[in-house]
Amino acid sequence: MPEDKSDKTILRRQLLSARARLSGADVDAAARALARQALGLPELAGAGTVAAYVSIGTEPGTRALLDALRERGVRVLLPVLLDDNDLDWAAYEGADRLEKARLGLLEPAGERLGPDAVCAADTVLLPGLAVDARGLRLGRGGGSYDRVLARLARAGAEPALVVLLYANEVVERVPEEPHDHPVQAVVTPEGVRRF
C-alpha cells in the first residue's frame, strides 16, 4: 500500500541531516571500509561490467571502489544526468577523466553510450539514503534510479542490485510506492546484508 510522500520527505531529511554531521575523516575511513566490503561480494568478483556512480559530499564513498574495479579489468559505467533527470552512461576512465556537472555531480568525460547501456551491467551499484529489511531502497527523490530500474525490468535484464550505505541507514521499513524494486544486498562499511 502506498505511503504518504511526506513520510519519505521526513525520513530523507533525517538521513541527510545525519550525513551532514559526518566529518571528512569519518567519510574517508568509511569509504575505505566500504570498498573492502564491496570488493568481497561475489556479484562484483564475477562481474565483467558494473554500473556505479561517483559519490559526492558525505555520501558513502565510491572512488576507491571504482578504481579497484577498474584495476581488476571490470568495465565500469558511470551515469550522466540528462536534463529530464534520466541517466545516460559512459565508461569510467579514471578520476582524471571526471568532469564537474550540474547539481555538484562528477561525470565521465568520455563517449555517451545511451540510457540503455546500463542493461549490459552484471551488477548495478545504486546510491540511496536507506534500505529496509525487505530490501526496498529509499533514494533522494529525483526518480533517476527509478527510471533505471524500470528500464532494466522492461529489457528483461537481471543484474545484481546492490546499495552502498552507512550502517545507520539500514532501517526496519521505508515508505514504499508501487514502482519500488527490491535490491539483493546492501553494503555498509561494517558488512553486507542480503535480502
Which domains are seen in the chain, by residue range?
A: 5-194 (3.40.50.10420)
Give the pLDDT score at 92.
98
| CB neighbour burial string for 33-45, b if at least 16 within 10 angstroms, e if fewer | bbbebbeebebbe
What would the grid cell of residue 174 be? 521505508
Give the pLDDT score at 2.
46
Burial class (CB in 10 A: 0-12, 13-18, 19+), 47: buried
Backbone phi, psi, residue 76, to 5°: -105, 125
User: Which residues does the chain have with pLDDT short of 50?
Assistant: 1-2
Give the pLDDT score at 112.
97
- Which residues, listed in sequence order, are joined to residue 188 by a DSSP beta bridge? 191
Backbone phi, psi, residue 74, to 5°: -75, 135
By DSSP bridging, strand 87-91 and strand 170-171 are: unpaired
**Which stretches of 48-122 are DSSP H helices?**
63-71
What would the grid cell of residue 187 be? 553494503
Of 110, 137, 125, 4, which is closest to residue 64 (Cα–Cα)? 125
- How distant, in Å, are the alpha carbons of 95, 117, 139 from that of 192? 26, 27, 19
